[in-house]
Amino acid sequence: MEKLVSLCKRKGFIFQSSGIYGGINGCWDFGPLGVELKRNLKEHWWYTFVLSRDDMVGLDASIIMHPQVWVASGHVDEFHDILVDCKECKKRFRQDHIEGDRCPECGGELSEPRAFNSMLRTRMGVSEDTAVETYLRPETCQSIFVDFKEVCSSYRVKIPFGIAQIGKSFRNEVNPRNFIFRSREFEQMEIEFFCREEEAAAWFDRWRQEIWNWYRDIGLREENMRWYEHPKETLAHYSRRTVDVEYEFPFGWGELQGLANRGVYDLSQHSRHSGKDLSFFDVEKNERYVPTVIEPSAGADRTVLAILCDAYHEETVKDELRVVMRFAPKLAPIKAAVLPLVKKDGLAEIAVDLEKRLRRKFTTYYDHAGAIGRRYRRQDEIGTPFCICVDHQTKEDETVTVRHRDSMEQERVAMAEVDAYVLKRVSIRDVC
Ligand code: ATP
């Protein structure tokens, strides 16, 4: 984990928020490479679960909502962590994160457990007396339920169908830790899938398979993943059944995504609290009912962390350590580096022109500094799947070498065809 955190900082994937002021706990910034990796991940998710399906639509709702939303959802009453304080070192812990009855840091005596609401509060409005107290959303899904009626009446949907959303969520986590695994500001990728009660179990199983396939598709190794079924006694108040996909991080198994059968809880609650009918009229069946909800809920940041952990490889090549990030090419932040073998003999000019042409189609990087072997290593460390080298033969026959990150093998490709060659191997969408 230390090696990975250091690589992320050194190479500009992820660094602490507000670092020059000493940082702020539980908040992280995605640098030039991190932002591309995360954008690719979210785009891949959106393409897989929204654009390429005919039973899904998207939504991008506001982060701050009417405070009543959180009363209806149960968050004001239920969204509590049970905390204990160490009387010696004064550190605070979530009770369900510690074993035994002593402080895990110093062995000191612990206080009685207390409930703590994990929502971040904020005040909205310009004058003190009229400002409304509300919350930064702790999950993205509530806006999907609240907007259910709008979506149904404005867009042609019929059950079964789902609404997807990617967006920021905020939780006042007691112990933000394990790098970006548990932070206070993070991004979620959530789906609420609305179906008939009698079809819910079958949809649950279908989504279970879809989720697993997606993790495989983004390159996570199956031996590092497993399912965890929540026992009935520990289910959240809204859930009839929940299973989590867990990933084996260097610090142990951790949840990547939850899949829950939320029943009719949320739509019924919002219906009751808002006074608006949130049932669905099924024209074909001539029947009105409140649909059952199957919810796959994933964290974008945790998935990025799993991808980074899974991609990190060290190997010895010619007595030297090679660090290589084996990202799935469609997620890699930089798709191709363009490198002149040497700067002189007009090779740099050809490479600069080629890079300019390619950067309109996918992310590229131009580098002429240092020996070619060093430059290849620098690209390996940031997971660039292809290095395109312009050499003396390029001037003779207009071909370049394409060097593959994982096998380190090289092949000659016509310069005019190198765009299509790379594009075919890195595209998130199916390209013909
Ligand atoms: P945990 O038990 O780890 O606190 P949770 O069960 O409360 O997580 P959910 O409410 O199911 O999490 O949220 C759905 C997803 O959102 C999680 O699977 C995770 O990927 C992500 N997520 C939740 N809390 C955080 C956080 N503090 N930091 C980063 N990602 C988070």
Residue with CA at minimum distance from ligand 1 atom 1 = 255
The Cα 137–Cα 63 span in angstroms is 6
Residue 165: CB within 6 Å of ligand 1?
A: no
Task: Return all residues near 121 (Cβ < 8 A) that are at least 6 apart.
Answer: 133, 134, 135, 136
Does ligand 1 lie within 6 Å of residue 189's CB atom? Answer: no
**Between vectors from CA 398 to CA 396 and to CA 401, what angle results, nearest 5°?**
105
170 lines ligand 1 (CB under 6 A): no
Per-block mean pLDDT, blocks of 10 residues, the chain (432 long): 95 96 96 98 98 97 96 88 86 85 90 83 87 94 97 94 98 90 97 97 98 97 97 89 97 97 97 96 92 98 98 94 97 98 94 97 96 96 98 97 97 97 94 66
For residue 255 and ligand 1, the question of a CB distance below 6 A is answered with: yes
Longest dimension (CA), the chain: 79
The preferred substitution site among 188, 229, 245, 304 for testing ligand 1, maximizing ligand atoms within 8 Å of CB, is: 188
Query: How many C-beta atoms surround the C-beta of residue 383 within 10 A?
Result: 26
Residue nearest to atom 19 of ligand 1 (CA): 299
Distance 299 CA to ligand 1 centre (A): 6
- Is the Cβ–Cβ distance between 223 and 253 less than 8 Å? no
Cβ neighbours, 10 Å, residue 140: 23
**Domains in the chain: ranges and CATH:** 2-72+118-308 (3.30.930.10), 80-117 (no CATH), 334-426 (3.40.50.800)
> What is the pLDDT at residue 432?
60
pTM for the predicted model, two decimal places:
0.93
Question: pLDDT value at position 17?
Answer: 97
Checking phi first, is residue 107 left (phi over 0); if not, alpha (psi -120 to 50) or beta? left
**Residues 6 or more apart whose Cβ sits within 8 Å of residue 318:** none
Residue type, 66: H
Q: How far is the CA of 309 from the centre of ligand 1 (A)?
A: 18
| CA distances from residue 126 to 65, 255, 303 in whole angstroms, order as listed | 17, 40, 38
Distance of CA 187 from the midpoint of ligand 1 (Å): 10
* Alpha carbons 171 and 185: distance in angstroms, whole number: 7
Question: Using an 8 Å Cβ cutoff, are 326 and 405 in contact?
Answer: yes
257 lines ligand 1 (CB under 6 A): yes
Measured CA to CA, the distance from residue 81 to residue 96 in angstroms comes to 9
